Amino acid sequence: MSKVKIKSALISVFYKDNLAPIVKLLKAQGVTIYSTGGTQKFIEEQGAEVVAVEDLTSYPSIFGGRVKTLHPKVFGGILHRRDNEGDKAQSTEFDIPAIDLVIVDLYPFEETVASGAEEQDIIEKIDIGGISLIRAAAKNFKDVLIVSSREQYPTLTNLLEEKGGDTDIEDRRKFAADAFDISSHYDTAIFNYFNQEDELARFKASERQGSTLRYGENPHQQGQFFGPFEELFNQLHGKAISYNNLVDIDAAVSLIEEFADNENAFAILKHTNACGVAIGTDTKDAYLKAFAADTVSAFGGVLVTNQNIDAAVAEELHKLFFEVLIAPSFDADALEILKAKKNRILLVKQQNLSTKKQFKSLLNGIIVQDRDLVTDQSADFNQATKKATTEAEDRALVFASKICKHTKSNTIILAREGQMLSSGVGQTSRVDALKQAIEKAKAFGFDLQGSVMASDAFFPFPDCVEIAHGEGVAAVIQPGGSIKDQLSIDFCDANDMAMVFTGTRHFKH
């Protein structure tokens, strides 16, 4: 049956907002309405007649409302096939009325979990009747229209108004697809709640918000983003955000969140790696120090700070071509300056990242891990050498380690307190990463005498500390753990260098 006239509807919802206009339309179109509990009361308050589900089934709501609609007269009315003679005969035999429209939403399980409620309250928000009604109506989409979320109320309202209560097979199939999207997402949330300790080695993720990007990493690749981006950011200006923008924004935000709000931190990233990071006396000072580390790579980069952008900062930033600027706030006069470039993306960061897991497709499956949430602190340093680090060196080492953690392996970071001098990024050997960092530091006019060096992993040989010493590096931070650690320690001891071990490796691939 392609076209179905809505003659009867079952309505049972948790959220009543925006339902009144639909009830009004159904009443005007002479639709028989079945309902129960609070929904029935609400519909009656709108002046519409309601057949109570309890009267249809001749059975009361029982077990504190846990069982209301789970009855053959309800599910038979939804599931019986209108073009099947056997089903029609049975519906007549057992006095089962056809139900053409089902409007049901689900108990707010995810919201209840997020609220920190007690487990018993959470369990009571696992919907049984609602999810069953949704699946039943969606399965029989050839005959039944299923509305499974209040988000669909405007679409249903338009449908009722434009088609006078008729529905086409295309309408019903689309609503059915939405219904199975909602039901599968709901079940995933429940499973993940019960499997918080990963007792079952299963991977289930669901995100209902999605957007199509201009393309993926390259123009010949399609790309999509799934997630509530607007919860994290408010885009004030600029072009549509691309796949590569999103990847860089993630890297930028992850890095800047290493720094406390009372630190004037600024970072410039390119292809997810920092080409400049600094802490300054104010935001402008931090930017200029970060920019000095690599005035070439900053072109077309992603900029991020944990401080407000005022006009003085904006004037400096406006001199540079960049893709994205992320900050917690912007002054009005700063926005006026920065908006002069129409494609420049300006984002207000509204909250911190809360995800604890990372996953990506790999081979013919998916790989999952905990996010690296360990930040090296001076209190955790193990002084590996005879010479101890100074307090100033400790601060510089912590700073360098934070950047190192968010840089592609193999990586070396050279820094002073509050300023990255250079980086060696994504090299196949740690020696090459160090040589790259030294070359870049010299290219941008930095003297490495008294600087510090951070490494994302241990040194298997003493070559890195030997080269670093030759350039004037005074202190080193690394995880330690090589069977040949002592060779690096011995060289440092013989050459008055200080080195600390953290015990934590920060590979990033």
- CA–CA dist 157, 460 (Å, integer): 68
Structure tokens at 144: 């039944």
Task: Report the Cα–Cα distance between both ends of the chain, in Å, rounded.
Answer: 54
Q: Is 211 helix (H, G, I), strand (E, B) or coil?
A: strand
Query: Annotated active-site positions, please?
Result: 139, 271
Phi, psi of 248, rounded to the nearest 5 degrees: -70, -35
DSSP 479: -
Q: Is 456 helix (H, G, I), strand (E, B) or coil?
A: coil
For residue 43, the surrounding DSSP H or E stretch is: helix 37-45
Q: In what order do the strands lie in the sheet with 475-478?
A: 233-237, 345-349, 322-327, 301-305, 264-270, 273-280, 419-424, 412-416, 452-455, 475-478, 498-501, 382-383
- CA–CA dist 19, 186 (Å, integer): 22
Tokens 């420049």: give the residue: 344
- Is the sign of the CA dihedral 168, 171, 175, 177 positive or negative? positive
- CA–CA dist 138, 142 (Å, integer): 9
**Cα 203 from chain centroid?**
17
State the angle between helix axes of 85-93 and 72-79 in degrees (0 to 180), rounded to the nearest 10: 150
- CA–CA dist 312, 328 (Å, integer): 16
Sequence-ordered list of residues with C-beta below 8 angstroms from that of 492, at least 6 positions apart, any chain: 384, 385, 387, 465, 469, 476, 498, 499
Tokens 């930040």: give the residue: 375
Give yes or no for a contact between 114 and 125, defined as CB atoms under 8 angstroms apart: no
- CA–CA dist 290, 403 (Å, integer): 12
Sequence-ordered list of residues with C-beta below 8 angstroms from that of 61, at least 6 positions apart, any chain: 36, 37, 53, 54, 67, 68
- CA–CA dist 164, 6 (Å, integer): 9
